[in-house]
Structure 1
Amino acid sequence: MSTLIEAFPDEVSLMIFARVPLYLHPRLRLVCHAWKAVVNSVELFKIRKEVNFVENFMCVCSYEPEKIWQLHDAQHDVWITIPVLPSSIRHLSYFGAVSTAGKLYVLGGVRDSKDDITDGRLCTPATNQVWSYEPVTRRWTTCAPMIMARTKFACGVLDGKIIVAGGFSNSFHRRPIKQAEMYDPKSNSWIPVPDLPLTHNAPCYGAVVREKMHVLHKELPTVQILDNETQVWTVSESSWRNYPLAVVGDDVYVMCGEKIYHENQVGGEKQRKFTASGYKSKSGFGMSSLGNSIYLIGGNELRGKIFRTQKYESPGVAVLTVSLEERWALHEAKPMTHCRGTILGCTPLRS
């Protein structure tokens, strides 16, 4: 007789547990101690990999409440609140967020606080901390720290490895960082990669397009591109600039005002594809892609009112299904249940 499910051997029971969606795991934990142990086990994570049971999530972190992440299960349209990031840094902001190997990674950043004053001015040093979160076991784990502490930097995933580049070493003294580095999740180690050819006194962000890392600085017309095979940076012109963007397949979608444009190449010809009514008056919203959909997440209803809550908060989520041939489909996903205000990080996760 099985100790997990009556009439089934434990091996078969584990196969059944492995196919239960994550949003139902809290209910499984309440059944008995044996089920709770299975649901929280590393073994279940391994079996999910063996049976190739994969779920897709959009991971979101906002200014309110601090250090809270939620995962949106697109298939079942439910939000899952995960354990609080155990970092000791209060109100961690301007960090990098990516996913690879079935885990969410939170990298670097700076404390958004007015408690640290240097020479009468706000100056908070960046961190080189790196955290990973595994959704099945619901555990945060500290990873090898970045070689350099940085904030407001570019990050992306190439061939399963995390690339970070640029940014600043603290929140006030704008000394741009030219160094770039790469993290291998398998070895839990960082190695340097070639420096950026150009540095700018402006925050930067990253996008991976056609297996190449793109680094863009806000308000500047240039993009720096890293070829993963040659490990060489090239500099090109780009029309992306300071606009929110999402990458679907090999295509880039840029949001300017309320209009979303499809760009068939970096800095190339643009074609208007959709008008997202209401987002012209928003600030601090997140834009990312999951599969063939673009997410427009949260933010604040009044321009310039960032880092506000109450009437300015917007937990709403719009999902656009992208098609190059057909008319786009728009639907409202269920609103976030905890996250409010400015979106600090959003990234897709396949686990």
Structure 2
Amino acid sequence: MCSLPSSPPPPSDNNFHSDHICLVFCPREPASNGSVTNWIELFNPSTNTWTHVGSIPGLRDDQVLKGFAMVSLGDTVYIIGGQVCHKERVHVSDDTADWVDVGIQVVPTVLRYDFRSSQWMSCSPLRVARYDFACTVCEGKIYAAGGKSTPACARGISSAEMYDPNTDTWTPLPNLHILRYKSVGVTWQGKVHMIGGFAEREDSDRTVPSLVERSSAEVYDTEANRWELKAGMWQLDVPPNQIVAVNEMLLSSGDCLNAWKGQIEAFDGRLWNEVDGSHKPSLSTLEAEQRRYLTMAAIGRELYFLGGYYGKGRTMCIVHVFDTSATTGEEAWRSFEPMEMEGERELCSHCCVVKLS
């Protein structure tokens, strides 16, 4: 590994020694000087406070990284792969325009941030450059599978690999059975699961979508060194937004097109069913605001939902918490005081939990 420029250290008060939620943002539109660089922030659930950590190194000021995976091991965070983009303004109608991400290059880059030393390190790169791929941590190793390998590609890939942080090496794994991108990686019952996604067999007719393939999952068998295809682990043609494991349950709140569908659902090994007390039609009372992102993280028995709402040139960040051990819906949900952030920001990857000590 090689060292990269360090970031300012986070605050060293007692509240910082706990589980924090790590997120990566970028501005919705470039600044006047064209800057759109990603940056990392930490949310402290014990104090409802946000801490700016610093920018992700290695990018030009006018470039932003999207489609990467972010995972944590203890008090370190890994930024893996992704697509380097620039922001381009396009007309969506005669009188309105919006900013879109235009892919430049898919990168195999792997960066590690150590919160103890406030130091970025450059790790061994992925064997296959990829973005919009599934990624999870299992028994101290990082697993990456599927995704896309070129900006203009309309199909996913099937390659998979595993990273050992002790040796800083990526090892190729057998290919998935199906080409997949935008699938979700999660470790459940001690095994690596890659669930859902836009999936198809390599020799399939691409004009005919297959719900059977898109609702399947692949589970890695470490002893046999192979992927096992599991049918029906996701019941929609649209890929999941996020899936997290809590107390041997797999939990989801929506898909990639609608991150919140009004309730939390749990997978019982066969079907997804609504969790008792989780029904909540709206996560926010800010009727005038528009939610632009939603991500969730599991800490202990609780699910944290972090949402961003745009309005009047700023982002209102609201955090809601669902206690999976509560007996009634009234006891299960609680909300933090909204926090106003300057400028309109975008979430660049789903969050992860960092254990700081």
TM-score class, shorter: 0.7 to 0.9
Structure 1 residues 339, 217: CA separation in 2 closer, same or farther (over 3 Å shift)?
farther
1:292 paired with 2:301, answer yes
Structure 2 partner of 1:16: none
CA distance in 2, matches of 1:339, 1:293: 30
Which letter does structure 1 place at the counterpart of 2:271? G
**1:134 touches 1:140 (CA, 8 Å); kept in 2?**
yes
Alignment of 1:234 with 2:243, yes or no, is: no
Taking the aligned partners of 2:169 and 2:69, their CA distance within structure 1 comes to: 17
| Alignment-mate amino acid for residue 238 of structure 1 | M
- Structure of larger gyration radius: 1
Q: Give per-residue Cα distances to partners, 1:120-160, cap 9 Å, x unaligned.
A: xx552210001111112111111111111100000000101
SS of the residue corresponding to residue 293 of structure 2 reads: coil
1:73-92 equivalences in 2 (<5 Å): 73-88=44-59, 90-92=63-65
Identify unmatched segments of 5+ residues in structure 1: 1-21, 29-52, 116-121, 302-308
Q: Distance in 2 between matches of 1:298 and 1:132?
A: 26
Q: Which has the higher helix share?
A: 1
* Match status 1:341 vs 2:342: no
Counterparts of 1:255-266 in structure 2, within 5 Å, are 255-256=253-254, 257-266=260-269
Q: Which residue of 1 aligns with 2:37?
A: 66
Cα deviation for residue 188 of structure 1 reads 1.0
Is the alpha carbon distance of 1:199 and 1:170 closer, same or farther for their aligned partners in structure 2, counting shifts above 3 Å? same
Instruction: Label 1:193 to 1:285 Cα distance change in 2 as closer, same or farther (>3 A).
Output: same
Change (3 A) 1:266 1:110: farther
For residue 219 of structure 2, the aligned residue among 222, 225, 228 is 225
Given that 1:152 and 1:205 are in contact with CA atoms closer than 8 Å, whether structure 2 keeps it comes out as: no
Report what 1:105 is aligned to.
78
TM-score normalised by structure 1 residue count: 0.73
AA paired with 1:243?
P
TM-score by length of 2: 0.72
The corresponding residue for 2:252 is 254
Separation of aligned partners in 2, 1:75 and 1:139: 25
Distance 1:218 1:144 in 2: 27
2:131 to 151, 157, 161: 151
Which runs of 5 or more structure 2 residues have no equivalent in the other structure? 1-8, 28-35, 89-101, 199-213, 255-259, 285-289
- 8 Å contact 2:195–2:234 — kept in the other structure? no
CA RMSD of aligned residues (A): 3.0
**Whole-angstrom CA distance in 1 between matches of 2:314 and 2:53:** 24
Q: Secondary structure at the match of 1:24?
A: coil
Matched-pair contact (CA < 8 Å) for 1:182–1:193:
yes
* Percent identity over paired residues: 20
Find out whether 1:135 has 2:135 as its counterpart: no
The one-letter code matched in structure 2 to 1:24 is P
Select 1:243's aligned residue among 240, 244, 251. Answer: 240
